[in-house]
C-alpha cells in the first residue's frame, strides 16, 4: 500500500494530488471519504480485495498477458475442421480495419446527429442483409442466433396469440437449451423428429404434432448436421394451413447459392452473422439477426432496435433514427416487447463491411467454392473403410456428419490422435446425438484447400490404422 | 470567440456520404476468393449441380458492387461521422460508464492467439484462455464477495434475464413456481430489471422513489408477500444516490422467501468500498463493458458477468470453467442448470480486456478508479448546480456516488428549451448529452457520469459547453431549438419513423415507399 501511494495511474488523470486537492476544495470537503457518507459502516468492505499485484507498466502487463495467451494453440497454427455453431471463414482485412476504428469501437448510444455514422452503417447492414434474405425488415443485431431464434418464437407467439411451438430436433443442442430457457414458462416447446435416412424434417411427425394451437414451426437450413432442407415450401404450407408461422434459422453465408427462406414461405428468418467477417474469438464473434416482411404486425413485435432512413430539415440530406422506438423496453419497462440492451452492434457494422466487399458475385463464388470443397471432403472421407457418412444422399452446404462406429474407435480417440498430427477433428456430437452413433460434425469452408482436405483424409486413415490410441 | 468560454469552434466531419447502394458500380469487386483446384472440379464438378434444383438461387443477391478502396473509404467516412468516447469528453451518457478502454487491451483482444480459437477445441489447446476466464472469476469473487461467476450473458440485460431464470428455477426446485409469480424492482433501476423478468412470465412491481429519491421501504413492505419470487435492484440507482437501506431491502425480501439480485452493471463508484455480499445479495452482475473498461462497440458485443452465492451455483448456465490444480477444464455437470443463455462461453474478448484492466490496476488501483470517479462526479455536480436552469432533484446538499440525474425543468419553464434541444445543441460543440431512461420521473432529465477517465480540464470544458448552451437558451433560444447546426446532419424528421406507410428499415423498403 505504502509503496504505491504516489502512483499516478495513466488511466486516471485526476489522481494527481494537487488536482485532487483542488477539486475537493471546490466541492467543499476534506477528503474523498466524505463523499461516501451515504454508505453506512455495516455495508463497508473493510479488507483489501485479494487481487494479484498489478503490472503497472504497459511493458510488464503485455508480457504477462502474452505469456498466458501463448499457451493457446490456434486454428491458424493447426488445421481445424471444427464447426457447429462457430465457423472458420476468411475475414477480409478491411473488416478488422473498420471495427477497430476508435469511433466505432468506443461509441455507444449517441443521437442520430453526432452518431450519424453508427446509424447509417447499421441501416446499411440491415439493408444488405435484407437483399441477402429477400426481406424488407432486419433488426440491429441481437446477442446471437440462439437469442434471435428465441425471440422469433416469442414474436410468433404474440402474433398468433398461441403458446405452443414446434422445433426441429436437428438444431444445435446448445441453441435448443437457449430457446428452452427463453421460452419457459410461456411457450411449450415440442420437438419434431428428423428423418433418420435423410436428416431432413420428418413430415409425418410434423403433421402428427402440429395443431391449431401451434404458434410456429422452427427449423434450420442447413441443419446442425449440415443437411440442406429442401422441403421448406411443404413445411411452410403445413404451418400456414394451421394458422402457424414458418420460422427458419439460416446460415447467411449460404445465400449466395441457396434461395432465401422467404422464397419457401418463411415468415420470420433468423441466424448468426459470425461467418460474415467476424473472427471466431473463442465464441466471442456471434451476433443474431431477425428478418421479416415489412408488415406492421411483424414490425411492432420486434424487441430490437430498428434503424430507419428519413429526411432532415435540409433538402436532400439522409437522416437516420429509431423506427417505432415506443415498442421497446427502453421506452416502456412493462409494456415494451421483451427487453433491449447492449448486444452486438459492432459485429453488425462489420458484417455490413463484409457484404459490401464480397458483393453479389462474390457471394455466389464463395458459396460455390464452399460446396465444391465440402463435397470433395465428403466424397474422399466416405471412401475410407470403417467410416460412414449418415445422410450421405442429402445435399450439404459446409458441414456434414462422420460416423466412426464401425471403426471400433470413438470420436474422442480419433480426435486425440488427429490432434497429435496438428489437426482439430470435427466436433464430437456422440453425446448430443447418441442415436447417430459415434459421430462428429466436420466443417469445410473456403479456407480449406485441397491439400488441407487430403491431409485430413490421410490422417484419418492413419488414425484408424493405429493399433491403440493412448 | 471569447477565451473565457472554453468551448470549441467545432464542426463534425460532414461527408454528405451516400447510402452504400448509391455508390454501387456494376462489375466492381471488393475481394476475390481462390479458384477451385482443378482436381476437385474434375471430381465434383461445379458443386451447384449436386444441390436440389428447388434450392438453388439463380439470381445473385442484389448487394452493392464496389472496389476495395471504395468500401474502405465509405466506412472510414461513416466512422468519422460517429463520435466515439476516444474522441469526445464522453461524460454525457450517464449510467453507461464511458471510461477509457486501454489500447493495449485491444492488442490482446485482437491477437490471433484469441481470435483464431474455436470454442470446441480440445481443452489442452486452450489452457491460456481458460486460465484468463477462471482468474477473472476469482477477481470478481473478491470484488463482489460472491462465490462463482459466469461470463456467458452477452450484456447486462441478458444477465438480468439469466438472474430471472435462476430465480425461476430456484422456486421451481422448491415446488413454488406457481405461487411465486412476482418480481419487485424499482423505477430508477435499469428498464431491463423490469422488462426481462416480465419475459420470464413474472408480474413486476416497480417501487417508486420517495421524496429522498430512494425506493421507498414502506412501499417494499407492502409489495412483498408469499407471491414474491425475488428482487432485482440497482444501487446506486440512476440518480447516483446510494441506497443506505439496501440491506433492509434484502432482509425484507429474504423474509418472505424471495431471492435478491443486485444489478451492479455500473459499479464504478464502489469497487473495494461496498459489495453485494455485505448487502446480503444472492446474485449480482457487473457489465464488463462499463466498470471493467471493455469498449461499448456502438452497442456491443458486451458481457454481463453474473455472480452467485454457493447456494445458487447449481443453477448457473453450462458450462463453468474450473481448475483442478493442474489444468483448467469445463464443467457441464450442473444438474439444475437453467441451460444456456448465449452460445458457448460469452464474449471472450471482453473477458480478456477486463482481466487485463484489473491486472493493470490491482486492489489499490481499482479503489483509486472508484474514488476518482466519485470525486469527478461530485465536482461536476457542484459545477452543474451553478448553471442557471439546472437542478439535481433529491438528496439536496448530499453527495452522490458515480453519476447524477439532473433536470432542466427550470430552464424549460423559463425558456421553453427542452432536454432534447440542449442535447442537439451540445452536439455543435462536440459533446453528447443523454436524457434518461423512460419514464421521465425527473422532468427534463439529463444524466451525467464522468468516470475516472476524464481530466479536470475536460470536465471544465464540458461544463463550459453546458453553460454556453444555457446562455443561448436565455438569449437566443432559436439557435438552440434549430440545432444541430455543425453536426453531420440537421434535425431529422422523426414522425415518418413511426408511420408504417413511410418507415423504411432497409434500402429496398425505402425504394418501394419513396
Equal fold, A79-87+361-465 vs A93-355: no
Name the residue of chain B whose CA is nearest to A57's CA.
Answer: B360
The answer to whether B271 touches B367, Cβ cutoff 8 Å, is yes
Residue whose C-alpha is closest to residue B193's, from B201, B203, B185: B185
Examine the pLDDT at B236 and tell me if it is beyond 60: yes
Examine the pLDDT at A74 and tell me if it is beyond 90: yes
Residue with cell 495511474: A9
Distance from CA of B302 to the nearest CA of A (A): 6
CATH architecture of B109-359: 3-Layer(aba) Sandwich (3.40)
Residue whose C-alpha is closest to residue B279's, from A42, A85, A440: A42
Examine the pLDDT at A195 and tell me if it is beyond 80: yes
- pLDDT (average), residues B145-159: 98
Name residues whose C-beta falls within 8 Å of residue A268's C-beta, 6 or more positions apart in sequence. A152, A155, A156, A216, A245, A246, A247, A248, A290, A291, A292, A298
Under the banding of pLDDT at 50, 70 and 90, the label for residue B1 is very low
Strand partners, A428: A440
Name residues whose C-beta falls within 8 Å of residue A2's C-beta, 6 or more positions apart in sequence. none
- Quick one: fold of A93-355? 3.40.640
Q: Residue B369 has which C-alpha cell?
A: 478508479
pLDDT, tens digit, for every residue of A351-383? 999 999 999 999 999 999 999 999 999 999 999
- pLDDT (average), residues B386-410: 97
Q: What are phi and psi of A168, to 5 degrees?
A: -65, 135
Under the banding of pLDDT at 50, 70 and 90, the label for residue A469 is very low
Contact map slice: A 244-263 vs B, CB within 8 A: 255-260
Contact map slice: A 60-119 vs B, CB within 8 A: 61-62, 64-66, 68-78, 80, 82, 84-86, 88, 90, 92, 94, 96-118
The answer to whether A79 touches A456, Cβ cutoff 8 Å, is yes
Under the banding of pLDDT at 50, 70 and 90, the label for residue A466 is confident
- Quick one: fold of A79-87+361-465? 3.90.1150
Residue B293, number of CB atoms within 10 A of its CB = 26
Examine the pLDDT at B2 and tell me if it is beyond 60: no
pLDDT reported for residue B6: 78
Residue whose C-alpha is closest to residue B204's, from B217, B187, B226, B216: B187
The answer to whether A332 touches A368, Cβ cutoff 8 Å, is no
Under the banding of pLDDT at 50, 70 and 90, the label for residue A386 is confident
CB contact under 8 A, B119 and A282: yes
The domain limits of chain A are 13-65, 79-87+361-465, 93-355
Under the banding of pLDDT at 50, 70 and 90, the label for residue B4 is low
Chain A environment of B342 (Cβ under 8 Å): 143-144, 146-147, 178, 286
pLDDT reported for residue B67: 98
pLDDT reported for residue A468: 57
Q: Does domain B363-487 have CATH number 3.90.1150.10?
A: yes
CA pair distance A39, B48, nearest whole angstrom: 68
Residue whose C-alpha is closest to residue A428's, from A454, A405, A448: A405
pLDDT reported for residue B139: 98
Residues in chain B: 514
pLDDT, tens digit, for every residue of A134-155? 999 999 999 999 999 999 999 9
For chain B, percent of residues with pLDDT exceeding 90 = 98
**pTM beyond 0.90, yes or no:** yes
pLDDT, tens digit, for every residue of B10-40? 999 999 999 999 999 999 999 999 999 999 9
Q: Across all residues in chain A, what is the average pLDDT?
A: 96
Q: Across all residues in chain B, what is the average pLDDT?
A: 97
pLDDT, tens digit, for every residue of B112-147? 999 999 999 999 999 999 999 999 999 999 999 999
Contact map slice: B 99-158 vs A, CB within 8 A: 99-102, 104, 106-108, 110-122, 124-129, 131-132, 139, 142-143, 145, 154-158
For chain A, percent of residues with pLDDT exceeding 90 = 96
The domain limits of chain B are 109-359, 363-487
CA pair distance A51, B174, nearest whole angstrom: 37
Say how many CB pairs under 8 Å bridge A and B: 732
Of A154, A332, A376, the CB nearest to B44: A376
pLDDT, tens digit, for every residue of A403-441? 999 999 999 999 999 999 999 999 999 999 999 999 999
**Inter-axis angle of helices B362-385 and B348-359, to 10 degrees?**
90
Contact map slice: A 201-230 vs B, CB within 8 A: 228, 230
pLDDT, tens digit, for every residue of A162-186? 999 999 999 999 999 999 999 999 9
Chain A environment of B347 (Cβ under 8 Å): 281, 284
pLDDT reported for residue B150: 98
How would DSSP label each residue in B483-511?
Answer: --SSSSS--B--GGGG-TTT--SSHHHHH
Name the residue of chain A whose CA is nearest to B24's CA.
Answer: A356
CA-only gyration radius of chain B, Å: 26
H or E element in which residue B203 lies: strand B203-207
pLDDT, tens digit, for every residue of B177-217? 999 999 999 999 999 999 999 999 999 999 999 999 999 99
Equal fold, B109-359 vs B363-487: no
pLDDT reported for residue B281: 98
Residue whose C-alpha is closest to residue B298's, from B81, B33, B61, B74: B81
pLDDT, tens digit, for every residue of A297-345? 999 999 999 999 999 999 999 999 999 999 999 999 989 999 999 999 9
Under the banding of pLDDT at 50, 70 and 90, the label for residue B422 is very high
Amino acid at each position: 500500500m505504502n509503496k504505491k501511494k504516489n502512483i499516478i495511474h495513466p488511466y486516471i488523470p485526476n489522481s494527481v494530488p494537487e488536482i485532487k486537492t483542488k477539486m475537493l476544495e471546490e466541492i467543499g470537503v476534506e477528503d474523498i471519504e466524505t463523499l461516501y457518507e451515504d454508505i453506512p459502516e455495516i455495508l463497508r468492505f473493510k479488507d483489501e480485495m485479494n487481487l494479484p499485484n498489478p503490472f503497472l507498466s504497459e511493458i510488464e502487463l503485455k508480457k504477462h498477458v502474452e505469456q498466458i495467451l501463448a499457451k493457446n494453440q490456434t486454428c491458424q497454427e493447426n488445421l481445424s475442421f471444427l464447426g457447429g455453431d462457430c465457423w472458420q471463414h476468411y475475414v477480409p482485412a478491411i473488416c478488422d480495419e473498420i471495427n477497430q476504428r476508435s469511433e466505432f469501437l468506443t461509441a455507444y448510444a449517441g443521437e442520430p446527429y453526432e452518431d450519424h455514422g453508427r446509424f447509417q452503417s447499421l441501416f446499411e447492414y440491415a439493408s444488405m442483409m435484407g437483399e441477402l434474405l429477400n426481406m424488407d425488415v432486419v433488426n440491429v443485431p441481437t446477442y446471437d442466433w440462439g437469442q434471435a431464434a428465441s425471440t422469433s418464437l416469442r414474436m410468433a407467439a404474440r402474433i398468433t396469440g398461441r403458446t405452443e411451438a414446434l422445433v426441429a430436433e436437428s438444431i444445435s443442442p446448445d441453441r435448443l437449451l437457449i430457446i428452452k430457457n427463453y421460452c419457459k414458462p410461456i411457450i411449450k416447446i415440442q420437438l419434431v423428429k428428423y428423418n433418420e435416412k435423410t436428416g431432413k424434417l420428418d413430415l409425418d411427425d410434423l403433421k402428427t404434432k402440429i395443431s391449431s394451437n401451434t404458434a410456429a414451426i422452427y427449423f434450420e437450413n442447413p441443419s446442425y448436421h449440415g443437411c440442406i432442407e429442401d422441403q421448406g415450401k411443404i413445411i411452410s404450407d403445413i404451418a400456414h394451413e394451421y394458422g402457424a408461422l414458418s420460422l427458419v434459422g439460416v446460415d447467411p453465408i449460404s445465400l449466395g447459392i441457396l434461395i432465401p427462406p422467404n422464397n419457401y414461405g418463411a415468415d420470420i428468418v433468423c441466424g448468426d452473422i459470425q461467418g460474415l467477417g467476424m473472427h471466431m474469438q473463442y465464441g466471442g464473434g456471434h451476433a443474431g439477426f431477425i428478418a421479416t416482411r415489412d408488415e406492421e404486425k411483424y414490425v411492432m413485435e420486434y424487441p430490437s432496435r430498428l434503424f430507419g432512413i428519413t429526411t432532415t430539415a435540409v433538402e436532400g440530406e439522409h437522416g437516420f433514427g429509431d423506427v417505432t422506438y415506443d415498442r421497446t423496453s427502453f421506452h416502456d419497462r412493462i409494456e415494451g416487447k421483451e427487453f433491449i440492451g447492449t448486444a452486438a452492434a459492432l459485429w453488425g457494422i462489420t458484417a455490413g463491411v463484409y457484404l459490401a466487399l464480397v458483393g453479389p458475385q462474390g457471394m455466389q463464388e464463395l458459396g460455390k467454392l464452399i460446396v465444391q470443397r465440402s463435397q470433395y471432403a465428403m466424397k474422399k472421407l466416405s471412401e475410407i473403410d470403417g467410416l460412414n457418412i449418415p445422410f450421405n444422399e442429402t445435399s450439404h452446404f459446409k458441414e456434414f456428419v462422420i460416423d466412426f462406429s464401425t471403426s471400433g474407435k470413438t470420436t474422442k480417440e480419433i480426435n486425440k490422435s488427429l490432434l497429435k498430427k496438428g489437426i482439430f477433428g470435427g466436433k464430437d456430437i456422440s453425446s448430443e446425438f447418441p442415436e447417430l452413433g459415434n459421430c462428429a460434425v466436420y466443417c469445410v469452408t473456403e479456407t480449406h484447400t485441397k491439400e488441407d482436405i487430403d491431409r485430413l483424409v490421410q490422417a484419418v486413415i492413419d488414425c484408424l490404422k493405429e493399433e491403440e490410441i493412448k | 470567440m471569447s477565451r473565457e468560454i472554453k468551448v470549441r469552434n467545432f464542426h463534425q466531419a460532414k461527408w454528405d456520404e451516400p447510402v452504400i447502394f448509391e455508390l454501387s458500380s456494376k462489375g466492381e469487386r471488393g475481394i476475390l476468393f481462390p479458384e477451385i483446384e482443378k482436381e476437385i472440379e474434375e471430381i465434383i464438378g461445379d458443386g451447384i449441380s449436386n444441390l436440389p434444383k428447388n434450392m438453388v438461387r439463380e439470381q445473385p443477391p442484389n448487394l452493392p458492387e464496389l472496389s476495395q478502396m471504395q468500401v474502405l473509404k465509405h466506412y472510414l467516412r461513416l466512422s468519422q461521422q460517429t463520435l466515439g468516447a476516444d474522441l469526445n469528453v464522453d461524460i454525457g451518457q450517464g449510467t453507461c460508464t464511458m471510461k477509457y478502454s486501454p489500447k493495449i487491451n485491444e492488442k490482446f483482444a485482437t491477437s490471433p492467439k484469441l481470435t483464431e480459437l474455436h470454442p470446441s477445441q480440445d481443452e489442452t489447446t486452450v489452457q491460456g484462455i481458460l486460465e484468463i476466464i477462471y482468474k477473472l472469476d476469482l477477481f470478481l469473487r473478491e470484488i463482489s464477495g460472491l462465490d462463482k461467476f459466469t461470463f456467458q450473458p452477452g450484456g447486462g440485460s441478458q444477465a438480468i434475464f439469466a438472474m430471472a431464470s435462476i430465480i425461476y428455477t430456484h422456486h421451481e426446485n422448491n415446488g413454488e413456481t406457481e405461487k411465486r409469480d412476482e418480481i419487485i424492482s424499482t423505477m430508477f433501476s435499469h428498464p431491463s430489471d423490469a422488462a426481462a423478468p416480465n419475459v420470464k412470465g413474472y408480474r413486476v412491481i416497480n417501487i417508486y422513489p420517495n421524496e429522498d429519491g430512494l425506493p421507498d421501504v414502506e412501499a417494499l413492505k407492502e409489495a412483498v408477500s408469499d407471491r414474491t419470487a425475488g428482487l432485482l435492484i440497482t444501487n446506486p440507482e440512476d440518480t447516483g444516490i446510494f441506497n443506505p437501506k439496501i440491506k433492509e431491502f434484502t432482509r425484507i425480501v429474504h423474509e418472505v422467501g424471495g431471492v435478491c439480485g443486485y444489478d451492479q452493471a455500473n459499479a464504478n463508484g464502489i469497487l473495494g468500498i461496498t459489495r453485494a455480499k455485505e448487502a446480503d445479495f444472492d446474485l449480482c452482475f457487473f457489465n464488463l463493458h462499463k466498470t471493467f473498461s471493455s469498449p461499448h462497440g456502438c452497442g456491443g458485443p458486451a458481457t454481463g458477468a453474473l455472480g452467485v452465492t454457493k447456494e445458487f451455483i447449481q443453477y448457473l448456465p453450462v458450462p463453468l470453467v474450473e481448475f483442478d490444480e493442474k489444468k483448467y477444464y469445463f464443467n457441464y455437470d450442473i444438474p439444475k442448470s437453467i441451460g444456456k443463455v448465449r452460445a458457448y462461453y460469452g464474449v471472450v474478448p471482453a473477458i480478456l480486456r477486463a482481466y487485463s484492466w484489473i491486472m493493470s490496476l490491482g486492489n489499490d488501483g481499482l479503489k483509486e478508479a472508484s474514488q476518482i470517479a466519485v470525486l469527478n462526479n461530485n465536482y461536476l455536480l457542484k459545477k452543474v448546480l451553478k448553471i442557471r436552469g439546472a437542478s439535481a432533484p433529491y438528496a439536496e446538499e448530499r453527495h452522490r456516488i458515480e453519476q447524477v440525474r439532473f433536470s432542466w425543468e427550470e430552464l424549460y419553464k423559463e425558456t421553453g428549451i427542452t432536454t432534447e434541444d440542449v442535447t442537439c445543441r451540445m452536439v455543435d460543440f462536440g459533446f453528447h448529452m443523454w436524457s434518461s431512461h423512460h419514464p421521465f420521473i425527473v422532468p427534463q432529465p439529463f444524466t451525467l457520469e464522468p468516470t475516472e477517465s476524464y481530466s479536470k480540464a475536460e470536465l471544465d470544458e464540458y461544463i463550459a459547453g453546458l453553460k454556453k448552451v444555457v446562455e443561448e437558451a436565455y438569449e437566443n433560444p432559436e439557435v438552440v431549438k434549430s440545432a444541430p447546426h455543425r453536426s453531420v446532419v440537421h434535425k431529422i424528421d422523426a414522425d415518418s419513423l413511426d408511420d408504417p406507410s413511410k418507415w423504411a428499415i432497409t434500402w429496398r423498403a425505402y425504394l418501394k415507399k419513396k
